[in-house]
Structure 1
Amino acid sequence: MPSSVPSVAVVGGGVIGLTVAWTLARRGHRVTVYDPVPARGASWAAAGMLSPAGEAWFGEESLLRLGLASLDRWPATAHDLEADAGWGPELRSEGTLLVAATDDDAGTQARLHALMASAGITHRLLSRREARALEPALHPGMHSVTEVLSDHSVNNRTLVAALLAACARRAVAFVEDTADVMTDTGTATGVRTRRAGRHRRHEVVVVANGVGLADTAGVPGWLRTAVRPVKGEILRVRTDRPALQRTVRADVRGRAVYLVPRADGEVVVGATSVERGYDTAVTAEAVHDLLHDATEVVPELRDATFVEATAGLRPAAPDHVPLVGWTGVDGLLVASGHHRGGILLAPWTADVVAALVAGDEPPAGWDTTDPRRFTGPAGAGLADLQETR
């Protein structure tokens, strides 16, 4: 194979790894994905929000810009995915409602409104009549409702299933095993599978295994400590008919809750944010709080059927900006640390990785995700950031 089109190992089969693998395969690369259980983990537990505005916060403006750039890619991504897989990720473009239950909650959201305005994100404060006309199931006593038309959603489970099918269509190979990185004199030479113990050679290795990065041998030590797990507990309930048409992100007496509807009547309710290492147990407190707040915002969900409670581990970088780029080891790329934005940022991340593999100029903003920002005198200093978070 010509050196301009190297073979690529993608370590990790979540939404980031699968989107990277599919994108590289579409561009002519031979790609192998290594994951003991592809399409599970945090990608399976997620809600599928494409919500750069709803997730925006002061101090994270660079992350907001990346989210907006990736959101722009999602319509084409959904179209191409449907062409390859035979079905799409159920992209919903009705928009998002930001709901404040109390006056104090509205004060919290006012700061978000200011940030959205500074970023040029169109939003509109609705009257109670307008809000009920859009979503009749909303509690009429909510203090304020803001419409953000640009924030969308996909069905995360349909998405990863489509990515698996699209990868198969593009001849991506899958090895259902955990893989470590093999290096020789500062250059990545491929991976070694743990169960089979086999060294499989590749010219480029992309580590995209989320919180598994910390347990991946062969990557630089500083990189293995650059991502920490943040547990998110999430629920699924189902109604006989769709309760909502739009995603609702609400603040309820200081607690955040979101409700993401599916076409079949399912509503995804989430999510907690807890730092307890690698614990993935769902607690009674989390189920209680999420259901309490969800039913306060949409009372008819009290009659919904409880379907599922699960938890996933979001991979978070110290500054909450993903780690996407070269690692300082020749031939070794990383794509991890996406925290709450893995599904949103998947198309942009894949474009960056594909450009770097090909030696092309990556999309704007890629320098902000350079993982080497945590090393050397020019970096922010990983230890310092960890102490201040």
Structure 2
Amino acid sequence: MSDVAVVGGGIIGLSIAWRLVERGRDVTVFDDGDEGAWHVAAGMLAPGGESAFEDPKLVRLMERSADLWPGFAAELGVDVGYDDTGTLSLAMTADDVAEAARVWTRQQLPLLRPTELRELEPALSPRVRAGVHSPRERQVDPRRVVAALREKLHDRIVPKRIESLSDVDATTVVVAAGCGTARLTGLPVRPVKGQVLRLRGEPGLLRHVLDATVDGRSVYVVPRRDGEIVVGATQEERTDRLVTAGGVYDLLRAAIELVPGLAELELAETTVGHRPGTPDNAPMIGFFGDGHIVAAGHHRNGILLAPVTAELVADLVVEGRECPDFDPRRF
């Protein structure tokens, strides 16, 4: 019997397991082999852009986790695509500027003119009206992070689908199963569908993450150093895994209007994932039963919140220190 069993082999579960092993616990990870939201995620580490109208407690958690990411990435010991060039938040029309200005005012970032933006990113469309540079917003490649974590924990990962928590033999069980958490715990975690595209071309077209509003449509464009560009994401209260023509069209249309050169790139992958949402779209981190802990419901912020969630769960298991702000018993 292990000290701790972690149910879920995604970025949250693996990060928790890694931190617990570092703190001397005997850990087993049960991984059902399903590719979770991390496999689709672009990896934007954007506490400012994502938190504009969130609960202040969640904002503080996101900012704390963003501060942990440089050290977290370095500790993994391999290239996980961590990049601190920053994000350009952009608006295409006057109406888009008016909408984005609420976030930019809160962030207290200086407004950049179109000429200044194109000095930073020459590939931008001349239609871009205004924007800001957010140096604190960074990115990482979630697929590389998960691969690195699996390598560190390879002898502790058991490929098995857990049907009931009563089947898990451990002193403490941590459920970090994303959307599968609802089935195992009865807690209110719902799937929120997102469609994401991956384009491929020669490296160097873009340097910054772009987070834009284009004719009222939100789109992000995330360049990797190897020439891959991630474009996302739709947000749909649906459970299916269909890549739809409308979803692809909306994303490509907005992305190409923002960066016309994207039209020449290969459409290399279309994917669908499901973000695990809660009724208040904040995570659940804490005990929900005797010896049972949940760490799920991170919605759009699972990649960003992985380091801090791992720390909070490790503190709970090792020191008994609870996190009342995100107690699952609030539901």
Q: 1:299 aligns with which of 243, 256, 260?
A: 260
For residue 69 of structure 1, report the CA deviation from its aligned partner.
Answer: 0.5
Residues 11-26 of structure 1 aligned to structure 2 (within 5 Å): 11-26=7-22
Partner of 2:198: 236
Partner of 2:172: 204
Aligned-partner Cα distance in 2 for 1:247–1:331: 41
Q: 1:312 aligns with which of 273, 287, 293?
A: 273
Equivalent residue of 2:85, what SS?
Answer: coil
Once the two structures are superposed, residues 263-297 of structure 1 have per-residue CA deviations (whole angstroms, 9 ceiling, x without a partner) of 01110000000011x21111000000100000000
Amino acid aligned to 1:164: R
For residue 181 of structure 1, report the CA deviation from its aligned partner.
Answer: 4.4
For residue 95 of structure 1, report the CA deviation from its aligned partner.
Answer: 0.5
The question of whether the paired residues in 1 share the 8 Å contact of 2:219 and 2:251 is answered with yes
Q: 2:218 aligns with which of 244, 248, 256?
A: 256
For residue 360 of structure 1, report the CA deviation from its aligned partner.
Answer: 4.7
State whether structure 2 residue 172 is matched by structure 1 residue 177. Answer: no
The question of whether the paired residues in 2 share the 8 Å contact of 1:90 and 1:154 is answered with yes
State whether structure 2 residue 107 is matched by structure 1 residue 116. Answer: yes
Aligned-partner Cα distance in 1 for 2:292–2:164: 9
State whether structure 2 residue 67 is matched by structure 1 residue 105. Answer: no
Partner of 1:148: 134
Once the two structures are superposed, residues 330-383 of structure 1 have per-residue CA deviations (whole angstroms, 9 ceiling, x without a partner) of 110000000010000000000000000012546xxx322111111xxxxxxxxx
Partner of 2:6: 10
Q: Identity across aligned pairs (percent)?
A: 46
For residue 59 of structure 1, report the CA deviation from its aligned partner.
Answer: 4.3
Q: 1:72 aligns with which of 48, 67, 73?
A: 67
Aligned-partner Cα distance in 2 for 1:154–1:342: 12
Aligned-pair Cα RMSD in Å: 1.5
The question of whether the paired residues in 2 share the 8 Å contact of 1:242 and 1:266 is answered with no
For residue 201 of structure 1, report the CA deviation from its aligned partner.
Answer: 1.5
Amino acid aligned to 2:19: T
Q: 1:161 aligns with which of 147, 154, 171?
A: 147
The question of whether the paired residues in 1 share the 8 Å contact of 2:47 and 2:63 is answered with yes
Aligned-partner Cα distance in 2 for 1:260–1:252: 16
Highest CA radius of gyration, 1 or 2? 1
* Segments of 4+ moved more than 6 angstroms: none
Structure with larger RCO (C-alpha < 8 A, sep 6+): 2
Aligned-partner Cα distance in 2 for 1:284–1:238: 20
Equivalent residue of 2:47, what SS?
Answer: coil
Once the two structures are superposed, residues 184-238 of structure 1 have per-residue CA deviations (whole angstroms, 9 ceiling, x without a partner) of xxxxxxx52xxxxxxx42000000001001221xx3x4x2xx1110000000001
For residue 60 of structure 1, report the CA deviation from its aligned partner.
Answer: 2.7
Select between 155-164 and 55-64 the one with higher mean Cα deviation.
Answer: 55-64
Amino acid aligned to 2:287: W
Aligned-partner Cα distance in 2 for 1:30–1:359: 15
The question of whether the paired residues in 1 share the 8 Å contact of 2:36 and 2:178 is answered with no
